[in-house]
Amino acid sequence: MNHLIDMNDLNPRETEMLSYCENLGGQTMPIELVVLFRAASNIPDNSKILEIGSYRGRSSAAIGCSIKGTNKKLYCLDIWRNYNTQPDNPLKGDLKKDNLPKTDFEVIEDFMKNTDWLDENICHLRGRTVDFIELFADESFNMVFIDGAHDYNNVSIDIDFAMRILKPKGIICGHDYHSAGTDVIKSVDEKIINNPDIKIKGIIPDTSIWMGIKD
């Protein structure tokens, strides 16, 4: 978990991924996109990946670049709503920042445009985590990335859901473990970082991505 990523020593596929993602809207930093790309690359073929909170598809595309042409499948779960109307919007109502889409339709249109090339490697699930709790079987996913609602209650629901559907040795990870994400930190510390049953865990250096391996 403490391995440093050298952004000057990327392989050609990682460089190509960053080139594609750099013009997509979103707050995921390039180094964080590399983390997700590598995590998705390292899980077995025929794996299933769940992304909770896809928004405009920046992180989805990074994962997608890793799994395109394989038998892995990415499930993207999001409400796809106007980000500016959400209570945990860190941009605090400034639509000029990041050129945020102004309507729900523009949000999902942006996501589809940014990820439609994934074809059979992607599945869209519109709604909230609680809407899909009964849909997925226990221990059926190999990786879950959490970047949905950032309040304590929703982060905790997402983590509990992820731990239930993850296979043993599956990867659970999430975004926004930083000074502005106090609710994220509180929930992740309680359920992942300070959990003695999760032996491999930590924060990826120079990122706000937290990660753990289910025992």
pLDDT digits (tens, 9 = 90+) for 25-72: 888 999 999 999 999 999 999 999 999 999 999 999 999 999 999 999
Number of folded domains that form the chain:
1
Instruction: Write the pLDDT tens digit of every residue in 146-187.
Output: 999 999 999 999 999 999 999 999 999 999 999 988 999 999
- Give the mean model confidence (pLDDT) for residues 73-95: 73
Q: How far apart are CA 99 and CA 90, in angstroms?
A: 14
16: containing domain: 12-213
Q: Quick one: pLDDT at residue 70?
A: 98
Say what the pTM is. 0.93
CATH of the domain at 81: 3.40.50.150
Sign of CA pseudo-dihedral 190, 194, 195, 198: positive
pLDDT band at 97 (very low <50, low <70, confident <90, very high): low
Q: Quick one: pLDDT at residue 4?
A: 83
Per the domain annotation, does 5 fall within a domain?
A: no
